Amino acid sequence: MMPTTPIIYTRIHRVLMALALGLLGFYFVVYVVYAVNLMQFPFDYDQGEGFELVDTIMFSQGEWPYRNTEAFPFYSSNYPPLFHIIAAPLVPVFGTNYAYGRFLGFFGTLVTASLIGYAVYREGRNRWLAIVSGLAFLASNTVYHIGPLFRQHATMVLFEVAAVVILAHANEITDVRKRRWRLALGLGLIIAGGYTKQLAIVTALAAGLFLFIRQPRRAVVWGLMAAVAGAAIFVGINIVTNGEWWRQAILANVNELKIIQTIALFKQWFGLHGFLIVPAVLLVIYELYWDRLSLYAIWFVVAVGINGAASGTWGGGDSYFSTAIAATCILSGIFAARSVAGWKFPTNYLTLWLVVPFQRYRASLLAASLVVVPLLYLGYGRAVLHMPTNMPVFEQIAGIFNITPNAMNGFYDSARTQDGQYATGYANIGHLTTQADIDAGWRIVELVRASEKPVISEDAAFTLLADRPAITNPTQLLNLEKKGLYDGSQLVQMIDDRAFGLIILRAQFYPDVVLQAISRAYTQTDTITMNGFNYLILEPKPTD
């Protein structure tokens, strides 16, 4: 029988929960404002978005983007195809436009948040904590700034979360037909996640381990079927691309690990999400000693361990924690729901040592939980503070709470350290774009249009919007060069021959051999600042 809680604690709980809901709801408003702003921005916001658009356009034309980078136009993708295939039917309707890809990413995060809320409600039967858990996912600095991008990461996380929610109780279904459909759907979504982005392998590992622990024979049979299906797709793509799929998307994606970056991102991840990580870990411990390990717990541990470590690779970053953040929100929500409802501890040696001595304080502990649980979400809300400070309403809020911008375009991001720096690998984005940024981008487009020769641009938007072909994918060439898989003779020769009317650089993520050729044959004639980045405009040097 549960102890009776004084009404005052229930009332305090409701007030604090309302405040937590209001704070996380505020971040949702900020998220919507940011997403709408990006959908109206016609150029690359995050480095690489333009090449995602190139891939999508190629798929809409029935072409594969996995190509030989040694031949003109020296372009290839290194990402799996599913996100671009999903977006491809929108190309004939919207054309060369970032809005639909950004909307797909944004909408995907809303569905993911809803699935997180559903998972928490299914396990804890607490509607308000379910809502707060979903909002907590959207409030994460990491999820906020990558969600509305024309990138495939958010869609991968959607498939992963959907698969985990579907598989979490699949083995408990007694109707054989329904159970088989549930297993097929869950494993199919994992395959979909893997063909959206390779990082979904962590969810495949977690689901396989969970199913094996619960039903070894069933896990082996279904695992083999999923492996055959995934392998058949893999081999098919490799055949139709003449092996470039293996070369470009697999071999070129195994990058070196920088331990310092991994450590910095782990510290940042805990600093931002610690209020939810601690209860998530406590629930894992509870399941380990007093219950059966859930798929959510195994998923959390695997995602944190593997993706967290991989965040330190070249091309990695804080986005690699997105899956772990989703798992954290589910586990912390379940922990919170059980805390306010009252915990149950089966009798074992740990119960006798750690629980029974405190039974007399059960009513007090339950009352304390009613206060502590919403305070955890309020603390989390304070830790992930991010907002524009120079827009109507937001400007007034910033003034009231003395929030001063610490990032570009009047944006405040709590992920910055006290010395104004981000952790190595954290994406320096999240701010809103301005009309001045748009004007600067069109100025670059006009330079491309005026060129009589082909143009190399490190951001694809400028050439795409000028109706010119996208030439090269700098980060992919660099990936290949790091593996010893890139020669570049033809591209270097064309650069030395001044075959390009302009070369537009942003981060200079080209192989050294290409940068050296550019330095020999081209000279900087202008610098145009857009979205906080300096775009270097280079023209051919006079020939000797």
Between the CA of residue 393 and those of 33, 68, 272, 288, 397, what are the distances in Å? 12, 51, 25, 47, 6
pLDDT in tens, 225-275: 999 999 999 999 999 999 999 999 999 987 888 999 999 999 999 999 999
Sequence-distant (6+) residues with CB within 8 A of 471 are 72, 73, 74, 75, 454, 455, 456, 457, 463, 500
317 pLDDT band, cuts 50/70/90, is very high
DSSP 94-118: H-S-SHHHHHHHHHHHHHHHHHHHH
Does the residue 355 lie in any domain?
yes
Q: What is the mean pLDDT of residues 479-505?
A: 97
| Residues 439 and 370 reside in one and the same domain | no
d(CA 48, CA 185): 32
Residue 148 and residue 106 in contact, taking contact as beta carbons nearer than 8 Å: yes
What distance lies between CA 435 and its chain's CA centroid?
27
Q: What is the mean pLDDT of residues 211-225?
A: 96
Residue type, 154: A
| Residues 371 and 452 reside in one and the same domain | no
Domain span at 442: 435-540
pLDDT of the residue at 358: 85
Does the residue 517 lie in any domain?
yes
pLDDT of the residue at 188: 98
| Residues 224 and 342 reside in one and the same domain | yes
Among candidate residues 376, 399, 420, the one where a domain is terminated: 376
pLDDT of the residue at 69: 97
pLDDT of the residue at 328: 98
| Residues 112 and 235 reside in one and the same domain | yes
424 pLDDT band, cuts 50/70/90, is confident
| Residues 466 and 326 reside in one and the same domain | no
pLDDT in tens, 83-129: 999 999 999 999 999 999 999 999 999 999 999 999 999 999 999 99
Q: What is the mean pLDDT of residues 306-316?
A: 94
Q: What is the mean pLDDT of residues 469-483?
A: 95
Q: In 3D, which of 390, 408, 351, 389 has the Cα closest to residue 529?
A: 408
Does the residue 411 lie in any domain?
no
Our CA dihedral for 480, 484, 485, 489, rounded to 10 degrees, sits at: 100
Q: What is the reported pTM?
A: 0.97
Does the residue 502 lie in any domain?
yes
| Residues 122 and 237 reside in one and the same domain | yes
In this model, does residue 353 exceed pLDDT 60? yes
Residue 246 and residue 300 in contact, taking contact as beta carbons nearer than 8 Å: no
In this model, does residue 4 exceed pLDDT 80? no
pLDDT of the residue at 206: 98
User: In this prediction, what percent of the chain has a pLDDT beyond 90?
Assistant: 90
Does the residue 123 lie in any domain?
yes
Among candidate residues 333, 356, 376, the one where a domain is terminated: 376
pLDDT in tens, 65-79: 999 999 999 999 999
315 three-state secondary structure: coil
- Rounded to the nearest integer, the mean pLDDT of the chain is 95
d(CA 524, CA 512): 18
pLDDT of the residue at 359: 86
419 pLDDT band, cuts 50/70/90, is low
| Residues 336 and 460 reside in one and the same domain | no
Does the residue 55 lie in any domain?
no
pLDDT of the residue at 420: 62
| Residues 342 and 439 reside in one and the same domain | no
Does the residue 508 lie in any domain?
yes
Among candidate residues 327, 360, 376, the one where a domain is terminated: 376
| Residues 466 and 535 reside in one and the same domain | yes
499 pLDDT band, cuts 50/70/90, is very high
Sequence-distant (6+) residues with CB within 8 A of 496 are 517, 520, 521
pLDDT of the residue at 253: 85
User: In this prediction, what percent of the chain has a pLDDT beyond 70?
Assistant: 99
418 pLDDT band, cuts 50/70/90, is low
Q: What is the mean pLDDT of residues 55-71?
A: 97
| Residues 294 and 440 reside in one and the same domain | no
Does the residue 522 lie in any domain?
yes
As given in the structure block, the two tokens for residue 161 are 């979360």
| Residues 336 and 233 reside in one and the same domain | yes
| Residues 329 and 463 reside in one and the same domain | no
In this model, does residue 361 exceed pLDDT 60? yes
Number of domains in the chain: 2
